[in-house]
Amino acid sequence: MKSFLVDLTRCTACRGCQVACKQWNKLPATETSNWGSHQNPKELNPDTYKLVRFEERIIEEKLHWLFFPEQCRHCVDPPCKAVGDGYAEGAVIQDPDTGAVYYTDLSKDIDTDDPEELCPYNIPRRNPETGIWSKCNMCNDRVKNGLKPACVQVCPTGTMEFGDREDILELAQKRLETVKKEFPKAQLINEDTVNVIYLVGYDPAEYYEYLMADAGSISPRLFHRRQMFAGLRRMRQTG
Ligand code: SF4
Ligand code: SF4
Ligand code: SF4
């Protein structure tokens, strides 16, 4: 299984990762207008798998500009797969070698338009024309051929690292110890449950409301839906 380490204390918001993601995945540009922020586009969308978020915050009486290059966390036990498979087996795939989680064309049968019903991090987006859901795919085609994901490859500041999960977890702990000397509130985010591990210098809520979540939980509503669809599937199979 592969993991990323994303050290937000190093990110300069150059957006090289965002552009590289578009290039590798052959995703078209998104038409936008000025909404008073450098964050562009404003939100993730079916053609934008990676988005560098910008937040201005006053922390301990000083102004800080916080940057958060956001992408799917490739959860170790992905809730979106549990929910998606309830609607259509194979709608969401997890590669057993790399841990990459990606959506297939069968995801058009997932009967909701709300990303939060699939994902505690509010990541996937649905194409309104095709109904197919999409998001970061870990550049699994590159990874399977021994390459780093495109976003990691281009990052000029060393914010992003990629490798075997055990090595990345070890690196994350070492980096945390170093970063804590300058950022006493530094912490790793959900490192036990995700494969995209963020290291933050400040309270995660300062960056973005969905930076931290509980990937191990599925809301009671989703759980019941999942049970209902599993029951229907069993009934169909037994005739
Ligand atoms: Fe930050 Fe690296 Fe992305 Fe630039 S390429 S925005 S430094 S993570
Ligand atoms: Fe699925 Fe969301 Fe986890 Fe990505 S972050 S694997 S979309 S549940
Ligand atoms: Fe985009 Fe690949 Fe990075 Fe995911 S891993 S954000 S698909 S470049």
Per-residue pLDDT tens over the stretch 151-202 = 999 999 999 999 999 999 999 999 999 999 999 999 999 999 999 999 999 9
pLDDT computed for residue 18 by the predictor: 98
- Report the alpha-carbon distance of residue 188 to residue 200 in Å, rounded: 7
Instruction: Work out the number of other CB atoms within 10 angstroms of the CB of residue 204.
Output: 19
- Report the alpha-carbon distance of residue 25 to residue 47 in Å, rounded: 9
Which token pair is 190?
């959900």
Q: Is the pLDDT of residue 61 over 90?
A: yes
Listed in sequence order, the residues at least 6 apart from 75 whose beta carbon sits closer than 8 Å to its beta carbon are 101, 193, 194, 195, 215
- Report the alpha-carbon distance of residue 97 to residue 1 in Å, rounded: 6
Instruction: Please indicate whether residue 226 or residue 44 has the higher confidence score (pLDDT).
Output: 44
pLDDT computed for residue 231 by the predictor: 57
Answer for the pair 37, 177: CB distance below 8 angstroms, yes or no: no
pLDDT computed for residue 214 by the predictor: 81
- Report the alpha-carbon distance of residue 221 to residue 101 in Å, rounded: 23
Nearest ligand 2 atom, CA 74: 6
Tell me the average pLDDT of the chain.
93
Q: Is 12 in the pocket of ligand 1 (CB under 6 A)?
A: yes
pLDDT computed for residue 115 by the predictor: 96
Q: Is the pLDDT of residue 225 over 70?
A: no
pLDDT computed for residue 215 by the predictor: 72
Q: Is 20 in the pocket of ligand 1 (CB under 6 A)?
A: no
pLDDT computed for residue 212 by the predictor: 96
pLDDT computed for residue 230 by the predictor: 52
**Ligand minimally distant from the alpha carbon of residue 211:** 2
Q: Is the pLDDT of residue 40 over 60?
A: yes
Q: Is 69 in the pocket of ligand 1 (CB under 6 A)?
A: yes
Residue nearest to atom 1 of ligand 1 (CA): 11
Q: Is the pLDDT of residue 220 over 60?
A: no
pLDDT computed for residue 190 by the predictor: 97
How large a percentage of the chain has pLDDT more than 70? Answer: 90
**Residue 149 exposed, middle or buried by CB count within 10 Å (0-12, 13-18, 19+):** buried
The residue whose CB lies within 8 Å of the most ligand 3 atoms, and thus the one to mutate among 4, 102, 137, 147, is 137
- Report the alpha-carbon distance of residue 229 to residue 64 in Å, rounded: 47
How large a percentage of the chain has pLDDT more than 90? Answer: 89
CA of 207 to the centre of ligand 1 (A): 15
Answer for the pair 137, 196: CB distance below 8 angstroms, yes or no: no
pLDDT computed for residue 43 by the predictor: 97
Range with lowest mean pLDDT among 5-9, 170-174, 232-236: 232-236
Of 213, 221, 226, 220, the closest CA to residue 83 belongs to 226
Q: How far apart are the first and last CA of the chain?
A: 38
Per-residue pLDDT tens over the stretch 97-146 = 999 999 999 999 999 999 999 999 999 999 999 999 999 999 999 999 99
pLDDT computed for residue 86 by the predictor: 92
Answer for the pair 32, 43: CB distance below 8 angstroms, yes or no: no
